[in-house]
Amino acid sequence: MKFNKKSVQFFAVMLAVSSILAGCSKKSGDMTSAEVNVSVETKTIISERIEEYKNISSTVLADNEVKVIPKAGGTVKKVYVKLGDEVKAGDILFEIDGSVLALQVEAAQAAIGSSKAALNSAKASFELSTGSTMENQISQLRTAVETQEMKYNDSVKNLEKYKLLYEDSVISQQDYDNMKLSVDTAKTQLDYAKNSLRIAEENTSKETENMSQASIDQAEAAIKQSQASLKSTQQQLSYTSVVAEIDGIISACNITEGSIASQSSPAMTIVSMDNAKISFNVSDDYINKIKIGARAYIVIEAVSDEIFEGTVANIAPAADSTTMLYPVEIYINNDNHLIKPGMFASLKLVLDEKENVMTVPLNAVLEKSGEKYVFTVDEQNIAHKVIVKTGANNDESIEITEGINLGDKIVVVGQDFISDGTAVNITANN
């Protein structure tokens, strides 16, 4: 049969009471205080280590939880996983019917082809307008100007000859006037040819070029628009294959084949289980005592009585505006995935630790009228009340900073039934 600490204490107390009753049964004249041997247990003081911690209750959370919300809605065509399945990042979870999007991709590709054909046509028109045809036209106009210049120059020379002949009365006034009219006509024709050349070079060529360039720009814009539409549609089509973003386990599945996947609600949930997370809140009395990396001893009864050790990973730098408490997160290794989100956890968060100090069980220190004291036992097994000062403590032990020395024997069981000078019987010493 196994006895816990409380059972041992109970039997010790009963033994002490029995001793007192046995002593009381004697005649009063035969009994002194030193003859009343109360059974007690003691502890010899040595240098020890003590941890000061805070008891906290919380629930287990997943290290990471991802809600799978499809980026494209539609009818679910195929589901590849089920509740409880392990998945890797990149695995296809389910597919949405993308037949309509596939047709839109084909239409966008056709639009690009049409726009490219229009671009080629505009470029050909541009080359035709600004290329050999226009050059031929300008070349002909330049030839016409040269021809008219020759005619005009010849007319001017002939007019000079006619003037001399007229002055010598070789030709008539009418002949001379006709020659002047020919010069004027040649000058008019020359001016017209030059003006036609100037218009062709400055106006007609620029306008045609602008019109042709506008057609090219329009065709190029249409191609870009069609390409953008194709890219967008292809991206939407890619969204119909929904993949896992993280490694984990499917913890919720809200779709079936043939159901409608919505872009506004999760289709699945994936939780990462390699590490379990415990999140809790502390007040400003404790927040500055907690450090990153501080240990925590955790019991999750749903798994086992084993004590898991975790470490503080995250501490909020500011209090929550609603609760005015500071969130803290602790992580536990969970490679075997036995710890599940939602399980209840009890933990002892280490706030401070001291080495080489004198400690006694917490209940060994008694208090009366604001004074704390313990009972020591001397070599004659006589108990002595000693006033002490205490330091760090937890729910099992407490540090004694003043009043006792290393090697002292301190009563740890039965102290409630003795007083200063009581004779004791030590049944056990730790």
pLDDT of residue 239: 84
DSSP assigned state of 213: H
- Provide DSSP, 54-88: EEEEEEEEEEEEEEE--SS-EEEEEE---TT-EE-
- Spatial separation of the C-alpha atoms in residues 331 and 280, rounded to whole Å: 12
SS3 33: helix
* The pair of three-digit structure tokens given for residue 359, joined into one six-digit string: 């400690």
Four-CA torsion 182, 186, 192, 194, nearest 10 degrees: -170
* Dihedral sign (CA 356, 357, 361, 362): negative
C-beta separation of 79 from 422 below 8 A: no
Would you say the pTM of this structure is higher than 0.85? no
* The pair of three-digit structure tokens given for residue 10, joined into one six-digit string: 């109970």
pLDDT of residue 33: 44
What is the pLDDT tens value at each position of the chain, 430 positions in all? Answer: 343 444 445 445 455 545 544 444 443 444 444 456 899 999 999 999 999 999 999 999 988 889 999 988 889 999 999 998 989 999 999 998 878 777 777 777 777 777 676 667 666 666 555 555 666 777 787 888 888 888 888 888 888 887 888 787 877 787 777 777 877 887 887 788 788 777 766 655 555 556 566 667 776 777 777 777 777 777 787 888 899 999 989 989 999 999 999 888 999 999 988 899 999 999 999 999 999 999 999 999 999 999 999 999 999 999 999 999 999 999 999 988 899 999 999 999 999 899 999 999 999 999 999 999 999 999 999 999 999 999 999 989 999 999 999 999 999 999 999 999 999 999 999 8
- Spatial separation of the C-alpha atoms in residues 8 and 266, rounded to whole Å: 56
Q: How many helices (H) and strands (E) does the chain have?
A: 5, 20
- Segment 102-110 long-range contacts (CB within 8 Å, at least 24 positions apart): 102/237, 104/233, 105/230, 105/233, 105/234, 105/237, 108/226, 108/229, 108/230, 108/233, 109/230
Domains of the chain plus CATH, in order, are: 5-51+355-429 (2.40.420.20), 56-64+272-353 (2.40.30.170), 70-96+241-265 (2.40.50.100), 100-238 (1.10.287)
pLDDT of residue 204: 53
pLDDT of residue 203: 52
The length of the chain, given as a count of residues? 430
Task: Tell me which residue has tokens 């079936």.
Answer: 256
* The pair of three-digit structure tokens given for residue 330, joined into one six-digit string: 């602790």
Helix axes 99-130, 132-167, angle to 10 degrees: 20
Which has the closest alpha carbon to 275: 331, 314, 329, 315?
A: 331
Task: Tell me which residue has tokens 């929904």.
Answer: 242
- Provide DSSP, 344-384: EEEEEEEEEEEEEEEEEEGGG-EEETTEEEEEEE-TT-BEE
φ, ψ at 322 (rounded to 5°): -90, -50
pLDDT of residue 55: 93
Q: Residue 122: how many CB atoms within 10 A of its CB?
A: 20
Question: How many Cα atoms sit within 13 Å of 345 on the Cβ side?
Answer: 27
pLDDT of residue 299: 95
